[in-house]
Structure 1
């Protein structure tokens, strides 16, 4: 794993190397003898090598560089360029030899060391990569991040954490280093160290809300709800205007049966613009689940849902729909399912919920219309043909019912209960058309299936 910084620095070398080469060869020098021709020839081969490397013709670049060596073998830049080209050709032995030669001539050249590090890294030669990057650390502290990543690969977790601590102290915390630190804690399962690190950060900077929130989350993860609650209350003392803390507080208040305080926290969380819709949906879902067990707080649920009327996502509407369905309010359930379906029109479960509720509420015209639209999305779903047939039967559209039901039977596989429902509806349709023979035939088929079940 290599840090972005290193990639950026390698890009810089593309612009610097030509100038290094030029600086080592005075192309403006007036030739007094045959040396002038040698310098012209060297220049020609060297820039040919750069050109070939630029078009990724690395073998031709190597040929040109060897011609440069024949003219002058004392320039480290030639070995450096040979090392880079061999590296691209995956000829790592030759790359290492040439880069080591360049480094022996210029031991403090960062670019030479960096390329050698890349050679070792590509071969997964972590021991040599670590030795090389330790030399690079003195040029820029960000190389320590690469070194920490190598320590992780070698399972030298304490050394990696020590380096991350050094970097945090020198440069401040960063998301990338925090991610690496959390990976280490997850690998080692060292929960105490993770929490201790957060506690130390809070001690060093009590006003950093993010660290408080992370500590609450980590305590919650370990199942230590008491300490998580204490951490949340501590954040509220430090930052009384904190909004994000209420994403945790409402849960703790509900667990303590402190419903009034829980409702206050829920309302703050749901009315805070900075809190994203997914987090709000989770809060509302939890409160819906609470109210389903404690219906005396339904009026509070109504007030709370009003806070997010313009910000409810499909899942929130679906959860509310399920709540109202369980509580027996089919009209409100249907309204919420429809709102959810507007936001997620291809959700088959929502389509099914809406159609079945419309049947229950005897809105047969809507069932016919909506099931026909749904069949354009899901033409092989027998359930859609069945509800369409039921709705057409209820409206006396018997021929349309028969057409849809017979088509739906073609898609029905291993579902005896639904098959019996199809036959029952076909029996009703044919009875409506006064075709008593067919009506009785389908009625018998339906009964035979029901008897077997």
Structure 2
């Protein structure tokens, strides 16, 4: 992930922060600017503010005529060219600004943003190396560029360097795992972690990362040994359970895996992403070993107050994708009960599964309830009509389907299904003429989609 200097935040920091640029200009220089220069300069800012970049450029060119060696004007010129995507002119303007004042970080960042926007990553690397002396944290950008250009040796070296100086970060660890997933780099990192553990035996994360690498290389015995070492150095470590859990699962030692999992999920130290990953691994295991479904149910309970992820819904989606309809229904219903009973996405997923499972009575009841909550959502009318037809409540089917059809917009398949269900409703009511009309209309719509 590229840092804040990238084009994504350009409008906030680089393109909008004229004050920060002027702050780096000597006050006496500003005071000496002529009225004509000032009028032209502030006219350019006004035009840029209303996105008249061509007019802003004309005003800045006048500034440069009045003061040919003014770095600020060239910098502003570059920003306006960048907004117009005239990248060559933008780069020339930023380069001129750096030539006039090489000690201003923002001028170099202008070149950097042009190079990144044009995917000229070699120039971006060259430029960011000139920015780093101003702010060493921009080495995180350098790491990202090394990753993009597949310079993994340099990336790994810089990651370790930054970790040592500033501590680990989520992005660096993600890049590191990406590099280490390519076998040739794992041995070097294993050696590095062994050294780190010797130097600082109380740092949990080094043990965890080493256990991960040994497990990935199928060196289970070594992974277990490191886990034992971690337990010895840090007896109350909960992090040890993260790796032990995976080891136990791989060895099909379910009871030990479940014990480790419960320790992980109840821990206040282990972050939610690792907890979600642990649950997901256990979910996959239970899918093959359904005798542990009760333990899965208990595990999901740890996430009842999770504000980031609706875990029960995600479990429902998993079973949904496996066409295990009863389990999908169970967890969708659990999610609606635990979180919001009116969540639109979960209700639509549940109705879809009800339909596949031919559970038409609860499907119809829920769809009718959701029509009251979302009166302009056509899918709820459709499921209510479909269920009513299956329950031979043809009059109700006709009513809700005719109401819902008015809300269908630019969805040919849904419109076709509405017409087919209306045909079913009129067939049940004995109106052959309207039955044929709606069936015919539904089939014509389906032909349009092919």
* TM-score, scaled relative to structure 2: 0.61
Change (3 A) 1:55 1:268: same
Check conservation: 1:164, 1:181, Cα contact below 8 A: yes
2: CA distance, partners of 1:336 / 1:12: 48
How far 1:375 moved relative to its partner? 7.1
Partner Cα separation in structure 1 for residue 332 and residue 82 of structure 2: 60
How many Å apart are 1:3 and its aligned residue?
Answer: 0.9
Structure 1: 5+ residue stretches without partners: 28-37, 322-333, 357-366, 390-399, 405-453
Q: Which residue of 1 aligns with 2:433?
A: none
Please say if 1:190 is aligned against 2:193. Answer: no
Distance 1:77 1:210, change over 3 A: same
Distance in 2, Cα, partners of 1:188 & 1:253: 24
Task: Measure how far apart 1:133 and its partner are.
Answer: 2.0
Matching residue of 2:98: 103
The 5 Å alignment of 1:15-94 reads 15-19=19-23, 20=25, 23-26=28-31, 39-94=34-89
C-alpha distance after superposition, 1:172-225 (max 9, x if no partner): 221122222223333576333444444444444333334433433343333333
Query: Which string of whole-angstrom CA distances, capped at 9 and with x for unpartnered residues, describes residues 43-63 of structure 1?
Result: 111111222223222211111
CA distances 1:343-377 after superposition (whole Å, capped 9, x unpaired): 66653697589988xxxxxxxxxx96x46526756
Quick one: which of 323, 327, 347 aligns to 2:350?
347
Map of 1:4 onto structure 2: 4
What is the match of residue 122 of structure 1? 117
How many residues matched? 361
Alpha carbons 1:337, 1:354 under 8 Å: kept? no
Kept in 1: contact 2:53–2:83 (CA 8 A): yes
Supply the distance in 2 between the matched residues of 1:291 and 1:310 (Cα, whole angstroms). Answer: 21
Give the deviation of 1:250 after TM superposition.
5.2
**What corresponds to 1:151 in structure 2?**
146
Rounded to whole Å, the distance in 2 between the matches of 1:124 and 1:335 is 48
Cα contact 1:281–1:315 (8 A) shared by 2: no
Q: 1:200 to 1:348 in 2, by over 3 A?
A: farther
After the TM superposition, which of the residue ranges 43-52 and 106-115 deviates more from structure 2?
Answer: 106-115
What aligned pairs does 1:292-441 form with structure 2 within 5 A after superposition? 314=312, 342=337, 346-347=349-350, 351=354, 370=362, 372-373=364-365
Match of 2:323 in 1: none
Q: Distance in 2 between the 1:173 and 1:251 partners?
A: 23
Q: Distance in 1 between matches of 2:218 and 2:283?
A: 21
Q: Residue deviations 1:33-78, cap 9 Å, x none?
A: xxxxx81111111111222223222211111112122222132222
User: Which residue of 219, 225, 229 maps to 2:214?
Assistant: 219
- Give yes or no for contact 1:247–1:283 (8 Å, CA) kept in 2: no
Q: Which runs of 5+ in 2 are unaligned?
A: 305-310, 320-328, 339-345, 369-379, 397-450
Q: In 1, are the aligned partners of 2:283 and 2:296 still within 8 Å (CA)?
A: no
Equivalent pair of 2:367/2:384 in contact (CA under 8 Å): yes
**TM-score, with structure 1 as normaliser:** 0.61
Is 1:132 the counterpart of 2:124 in the alignment?
A: no
How well do the aligned residues superpose, as a CA RMSD in angstroms? Answer: 4.9
For residue 407 of structure 2, what is the aligned residue in structure 1? none
* Cα separation, partners in 2 of 1:258 and 1:103, compared to 1, 3 Å: closer
Task: Name the SS of the counterpart of 2:34 in structure 1.
Answer: helix
Q: For residues 320-365 of structure 1, what are the alpha-carbon distances to aligned partners after superposition, in whole Å with 9 as ceiling and x for unaligned?
A: x9xxxxxxxxxxxx99997678566653697589988xxxxxxxxx
Q: Secondary structure at the match of 1:108?
A: coil
Structure 1 residue 284, shift from structure 2 partner: 6.8
Q: Rg larger in 1 or in 2?
A: 1
Query: Secondary structure at the residue paired with 2:102?
Result: coil
